[in-house]
Amino acid sequence: MGMRVTFLGTSSAKPSPLRNVSGLFLSPFERKERWLFDCGDGTQLRILSAGLPLEHIRAIFISHMHGDHIFGLPGLLASMSLSNMPTEVELYGPAPLADFLESVRSYSAARRPSPFRFRALAEGAVAAIDGVAVECRLLDHRDPTYGFRITEPDAPGKLDVSALERDGVPEGSVRGRLKRGEDVTLEDGRVLRGRDYLGPARQGRVLAIVPDTSPCEASRALAKDADLLVHEATLDDAQSGTALERKHSTPSMAAETARGAGARRLALTHISPRYHDKPEDLAAMLAAAQAVFPETSLAEDLQSIDVPARTD
């Protein structure tokens, strides 16, 4: 099972020629389905630029009702309604999102995406889609804002080929079923139990997405032992007082969250437009975070990060 994160927008507040506003694609499967997290203005153009057809979107998660996270959603849904969606689209967001979308639809006469289902977010578990669990928690922002923790199911352990050969287990479908942990009855009457030929299960990967927030216990809980933490870093460390006043984070704050939570990697996003055309400022922001948590990168629009399978 693959896990790839693609950044569609890494700016806060408003877009610039270099960075669009918030949007993130998750590919949690080997198949074509994609999940979208937040949908700022222009997100669907970023999706098309990345070569990702709209009809591949299966689930959309909206963190909060600020414009740089939702203004692209009505247009995206209108386009999706014209794309002959093959499966039902799940939309998760704060309860007011439903009224917002209905107002836009009624005044614009936009077609309603079909099939389509809205689910209001609440603290705790959100969903389990194809075995991948999604949990949300309320963060510390000016308006109710949710962060997300996405957890893959554990994968079967490594198949013991030497034991299979020792027991004369034929190659092909029998070994495939044992690899999945199933029990198999052979033609000679022997019953083989999958667990007898598998090593320890491999823990599923964890992705944490922490949008607009100041440091809080909820962000640390979402990030605990995450393979990748995507965390906002709106203002540089020199603006830490302003960041906290506005309920945002700096690179060092995000890095402290990653380090304290035992995350493996950190990607900074939601960067203020004041820095977009100042490479020296962006480099300083990255350096400040890396001084606290070395495994940090600064996300760029249309950049993808592959999260490798766990080996421990």
Closest CA to 254 of 271, 284, 230: 230
Q: Looking at residue 98, what DSSP letter applies? A: H
Please state, in angstroms and rounded to a whole number, the distance separating the CA atoms of residues 214 and 231.
Answer: 10
What CA–CA distance (Å, rounded) separates 219 from 232?
Answer: 11
Q: Yes or no: say if 20 and 32 are a contact pair by the CB < 8 Å rule.
A: no
Strand pairing report for 228-232 and 206-210: parallel
State how beta strands 4-9 and 304-306 pair: antiparallel
CA 103/CA 117 separation, integer angstroms: 17
Q: Which residues are catalytic?
A: 68
85 Cβ partners below 8 Å, 6+ apart?
Answer: 55, 113, 114, 115
